[in-house]
Amino acid sequence: MYVSNVIDQLTDELEERISGVAEHLSRSLRKAEQFRDWAPRKRFDPKDVGNRPTPISMPAFPVAQHLSAWQRFAWGFYGEAKRRAVAERSSTYQAALAKFSGQWQAAIAERQREIEQFELKLRGEERAAADYNESVRQLEESSARGDIEAQWQLFETRFAAFMRTLDPLTGSHRITYSADSHRVVVEFDVPPKSVVPAEKSVRFLKTTGEHRYSYRTDADVKRMYAVFVAQAVLGVVNGAIRLSPSSLVETVGVNAVVDAPDPATGVMTTIPIVSVVSSRSILEQIQFAEVDPVACLKHLSAVVSRSPAEVAPIRPIVRLDMTDPRFVADSDVLADLDARPNLMELTPNEFETLVQNLFSKMGLDTKQTRPSRDGGVDAIAYDPRPILGGKIVIQAKRYKGTVGVSAVRDLFGTLQNEGGSKGILVTTSGYGSASFEFAKNKPLELIDGGNLLFLLQEHAGIDAKIVMPEDWEDPRPDGE
């Protein structure tokens, strides 16, 4: 019986580990539904404050203890009044009574202070919970009225709570939002392939009295891990869509990363292994509970590591550093005192040179052409790598508003006319969901303001900023 119980326990533990990996997507789908209308309200319970101190009162003074032996012997022959009179004439009694009374009065006063402090803390905790819940209620009302900032705060809180429930199979996450593009970008940690149980089953050997595991092949572990990573990404994508209103998020970008040693240096680093970007309109048509996770990522044109189990890196479609450049102007009160160059204050020629230098620093042979009529820059670059290289058409737009899909179509047309292998559109603002949908499965790369700042810092050592002048007008508005 003992052996049977042990084997049953080991089997249950193994099956739980296996199901956690194999059924991760279904679990995350259920959790996303649970958090759709969730709000971070505080529950006030007086028990959480602690036990209320009990009031105390002074007990009767022990008179007999302070009488002489003769007085105690004759105590029963005296009436109550006589006994008290005799006791009160004793100096020992008077001193003891004064000390007794003083100690108890101090104790009673101290207990009263404890009660008052408890009541004060109790009312404070109750008021804090009520104020917090009222602020959440107001946040929900503002969100329902279409306040983007309130919608973002509510979504970010719900999403963080949702992600915590998926721990430890998904680790910490980072999230940014572009108000121009209505795009949210999430980067989250996935565990290495050791999360997949190498053990396949367990059985008892009567001949040796031992329990023995059977193990999966390395190929089977790698396959299960690839499926798990795909499930984890789709779960996060679904959560971002299900927990956000359509007025806030139109496009979702998700990068899955693994902390692993850099193959070249051995130093622990963060390595991206999956990257996907898609629009709400497409994601809402997907029945995530019914899909094959790997096939679904392929359908969404995700960039997937050739070997997730070996942590082969990819180049993400979107980067986490894509914050809304307008937030810089709103949050940086001392922007005018900042030594960083503002890209919006450069002359057209300076901006052209900046973009040309950036791509030259990135290893391209860049040739600047005439500035386009919208004040941006058109450039032709050549990637010298054999097979993978070729002619690259680059166009840059200093825009305040969202760059419309027409600009992406124009770039694609120019790319075809030039016979190029790739087109790159750079802007100081952002792109709409239609732009990403058009660029999908085409040799086009869209770089927004946040990514431009990141690339300038990483490759050219330029710590720049994008602060829109109040009187700025885009040279040629793009319509979706």
Which amino acid is it at 53? P
Neighbouring CB atoms inside 10 A of 374's CB total 18
Residue 343 has pLDDT above 70, yes or no: yes
Give the pTM.
0.65
- Average pLDDT, stretch 119-123? 91
Query: Phi and psi dihedrals of 390, rounded to 5?
Result: 145, -170
CB of 297 within 8 A of CB of 276? yes
CB of 223 within 8 A of CB of 22? no
Q: What pLDDT band is residue 189 in, cutting at 50, 70 and 90? A: very high
CB of 257 within 8 A of CB of 189? yes
How many helical (H) and strand (E) elements, i.e. helices and strands, does the chain have? Answer: 15, 12
Residue whose entry in the numeric block shows the structure tokens 């580990």: 17
The reported pLDDT for the residue numbered 338 is 45
The reported pLDDT for the residue numbered 169 is 83
C-alpha to C-alpha distances, 8 to 1, 5, 107, 442, nearest whole angstrom: 10, 5, 59, 53
The reported pLDDT for the residue numbered 327 is 32
Task: Identify the residue with better confidence: 422 or 476.
Answer: 422
Element (H, E) at 394: strand 390-397
C-alpha to C-alpha distances, 51 to 109, 111, 114, 311, 361, nearest whole angstrom: 18, 13, 11, 53, 67
The reported pLDDT for the residue numbered 447 is 87
| Residues near 208 by beta carbon (within 8 Å), at least 6 away in sequence | none
